[in-house]
Amino acid sequence: MKREENEDTLAERSGNILLAGNDDAEEADEDHFGDLDGTVQTGENGDELSKSAANDDCNRDIHMLPSSAHQPVSGDSDTYDDDGDRLISTIISPSPFPHHLAGPSSDRLRNALHRVASDPTRDTEAWSALLSEAQSSYRSLLPTLRHSESEVSDEGRKLDWIESCFGALLKHFPYASGYYTGVSEILMQQSAMPDEEEGGGEASGNIVEASSLTERQKRCERKLEWIFRFALGIEDSNNGISNKELKEGKDEDRNGKEIDLKGMCTSSVDLWLLYIRKRSRDANRAAACTGGDSNNSVRERTVAAYETALSHASFVHNNHLLWRQYLSYVKSWGETLSETDGTATDHTLQQMQKQSLRSIYQRLVSYPMTGVDQLWD
């Protein structure tokens, strides 16, 4: 029960961090780190715990978790393992950011790292502070994010450190869907091509082929697919993702028995919207390679992504966001029709649009949601 409460606390904090503007988020970073200064760990009765007692309590909680939770929280920056398919799950140490190595920020970061290492399954305040700092550090990289393509560049090491903070937290709190959304946004931006919309959405202008991706971008693509498999339980055979590791989304309990952990965050609308953006981008890239009726192919694959998302999240909190975006997408087909000259193909598309809109409206009225009347405007 305690761990479930910690999951809820982290989810709430992750949502606040992701939704805050830059100024608000920076203030939140200072506030979270400030709370960590001089904090003493106490027991249930308010008595200060000895180091050994605190570790005993921590170990009891860890033994209740999957075997992956026994791994260290942080590791040397020269020895960490990035297999290219999963998130880096050990915090890289030392941090490659200069302000983490000297000054007040370094003391607060060191304190947060010490606390999450000592009590990784319960100290949600320290985790929240650490991830808030990771978000702030990432924002500082955005102006020059695409200027360096070297795999061993200073920028690459900084991006790996940010990813490792998310990966380490999600190893212990696999239900914290807000942090899956946060790291997925970062991976989407890293894997986007220059002529694709900021944030990794649909392509604008000339569409590039996926074969021109750098090695880092390819790794980010694979990690996104792993997140979708693990958090949403989704497999996609159209993207050429290898399924050679059949235990990709599984772990083991203390007795070595397999535990299927796939699809733990299917109620996260934000994560489903990211999934749709990724599939739409994949469709645009595939169309650039195959040619033919590219618009029709992109529409089919994007609609399939929406239907997949609705099959899992049509009845969850904030489901109106998913239905609204689906309606907006289908209505956007009219922009294509307005640019055509009224051929038979255009008439077919117009009929398809009307049928799709009718189907969406007939289904959405059967679900409780916020602002359902506004969807008819």
Please indicate, yes or no, whether the overall pTM of this predicted structure exceeds 0.85. Answer: no
Residue 205 pLDDT > 90 = no
Residue 252 pLDDT > 80 = no
Q: What's the CA gap between 66 and 191, in Å, rounded?
A: 31
pLDDT at 195: 73
pLDDT at 40: 36
pLDDT band at 294 (very low <50, low <70, confident <90, very high): confident
Over residues 166-184, the pLDDT tens digits come to 999 999 999 999 999 999 9
What is the CA 128 to chain-centroid distance, rounded?
16
Instruction: Pick from 202-211, 214-223, 261-270 the range whose average pLDDT is largest.
Output: 214-223
pLDDT band at 377 (very low <50, low <70, confident <90, very high): confident
pLDDT at 248: 43
Instruction: Supply φ then ψ for residue 8, to 5 degrees.
Output: -65, -40
Over residues 116-127, the pLDDT tens digits come to 999 999 999 999
Instruction: Supply φ then ψ for residue 48, to 5 degrees.
Output: -70, 135
Q: What's the CA gap between 214 and 193, in Å, rounded?
A: 10
| DSSP line for 47-111 | PBPPHHHHHHHHHHHHTTS-GGGGS-SEEETTT----SSS---SEEES-S-GGGTSSHHHHHHHH
pLDDT band at 263 (very low <50, low <70, confident <90, very high): confident
pLDDT band at 10 (very low <50, low <70, confident <90, very high): low
Q: What's the CA gap between 168 and 163, in Å, rounded?
A: 9
On average, the pLDDT of the chain sits at 74
pLDDT at 219: 92
Q: Is 43 left (phi over 0), alpha (psi -120 to 50) or beta?
A: beta
Average pLDDT value for residue range 9-18: 50
Q: What's the CA gap between 8 and 14, in Å, rounded?
A: 10
Q: What is the CA radius of gyration of the chain?
A: 23
Residue 265 pLDDT > 90 = yes
Q: Which of 373, 327, 377 is nearest to 354 (CA)?
A: 327
String of b and e for 36-67 (b: at least 16 CB within 10 Å)?
A: beeeebeeeeeeeeeeeebeebbeebbeebbe
Task: Calculate the alpha carbon distances from 145 to 78, 130, 183, 192, 205 in Å.
Answer: 22, 21, 15, 11, 21
pLDDT at 243: 39
Average pLDDT value for residue range 295-313: 93
The 8 Å CB, 24+ separation contacts for 142-147 are 142/189, 145/189, 145/190, 146/194
pLDDT at 153: 80
Over residues 45-100, the pLDDT tens digits come to 334 333 333 334 333 332 223 333 334 566 654 444 555 689 999 999 999 999 99
